[in-house]
Amino acid sequence: MENSGRKKKKKRWLFERILFLVILVSLVAWQAYVRPVYFFLQTVTVAGNQKITTEEIYRMAGFLPGSGPLWVWDAKEFLGTLRDDLRVVEVSTEYNFPSTLTIQIKERRAVAYLSSQYGFLDLDQAGMIMSVSHSLAKMDAPLITGYKAGRVFQGDRIDDAGVFAALDYLVALDKDTRDKLSEVNIAAKTGVIAVTLDNIKIQLGSLERIRSKAKLTQDILQEVSSRKIAVDSIDLVHEAPVLRFRR
């Protein structure tokens, strides 16, 4: 009888411990499901970032260089901060067993740059300042010239009709054509002038018929590129485009 009682107690003790472990694992799994929580991270890498430095992302995440493995990291606040960042379109994490995490960043690409009192502004299609750069070394969009912004900061909007018109023109272009432009000058006396990377001047005049001029820009530049035509300038002021060739 005594041995039987001990066996029952032992089974009950074992059952309680197993139940405790199941509940604990379930709670951890549920917490990790509803919140992005990671355990024992030895390696954290960042991919897809260009304008936002890896060091800045580490600071936002609370990672200290040389601090060793991270035993528990709750990523909810970090992911929320990045998703609210005007420079970011999307952020995600990928965990690779046993202890590696990759933070994947998809940055918002500027439609144009604009000079300001504090540097060069990255503008989206609505004229909102996504970030301020101090160099154009990594410029991946045309520079709008002929207007210089004053005391403005990230999150502000540029309130200038000429800048808006230039942005509308750039947005109406496809990506490949926009990537061929280096500058859009909105201060020219003869009207707006766009300049390509190989120094073809596109005279747009007043930015009326924006979509029509954007379509002509695309078609002509594509033809010039495919046929390797030496063009000096393209006049789109009037409905019939005029091309001037290099000698």
Q: What is the pLDDT of residues 157-166, one digit of tens each?
A: 999 999 999 9
Q: What is the reported pLDDT for 94?
A: 87
> What is the rounded average pLDDT of the residues 222-237?
93
Whole-number average pLDDT of the chain: 84
pLDDT band at 206 (very low <50, low <70, confident <90, very high): confident
Q: What is the pLDDT of residue 85?
A: 86
* CA 106 – CA 154 distance, rounded (Å): 19
Helix (H, G, I), strand (E, B) or coil at 161: helix
Taking the CB of residue 177, how many other CB atoms lie within 10 A of it? 20
Read off the pLDDT of each residue in 163-170 and give the average, rounded to a whole number.
Answer: 94
pLDDT value of residue 108: 83
| Alpha carbon separation from 127 to 108, 111, 145, 147, 199 (Å, rounded) | 14, 9, 14, 13, 26
The contacts of residue 36 (CB under 8 Å, 6+ apart) are 74, 75, 76, 79, 93
For residue 46, pLDDT over 80 is answered with: yes
Domain 112-245 - what CATH class? alpha beta
What are the pLDDT digits (tens) for 57-85? 998 888 876 777 778 778 888 888 888 88
Contact 57, 46 (CB under 8 A): yes
| Cα–Cα distance list, 178 to 85, 96, 124, 174, 199 (Å) | 25, 38, 14, 6, 14
Contact 233, 204 (CB under 8 A): no
- Which residue has tokens 């495919």? 226
pTM assigned to the model:
0.71
pLDDT of residue 82: 86
| % of the chain with per-residue pLDDT over 90 | 42
pLDDT at position 33 over 60: no
Checking if the pLDDT of 238 tops 70, the result is yes
228: left (phi over 0), alpha (psi -120 to 50) or beta: left
Tell me whether domains 2-107 and 112-245 share a fold.
no
Residue 41: strand pairing partners: 70
Quick check: 10 pLDDT over 70? Answer: no
Domain positions in the chain are 2-107, 112-245
User: pLDDT value at position 146?
Assistant: 93
As given in the structure block, the two tokens for residue 198 are 């190989």
Question: pLDDT tens, 111-147?
Answer: 999 999 889 999 998 899 998 888 877 778 999 999 9
CATH 3.10.20.310 assigned to 2-107: yes
Kindly indicate the confidence band of residue 4, based on its pLDDT and cuts at 50, 70 and 90.
low
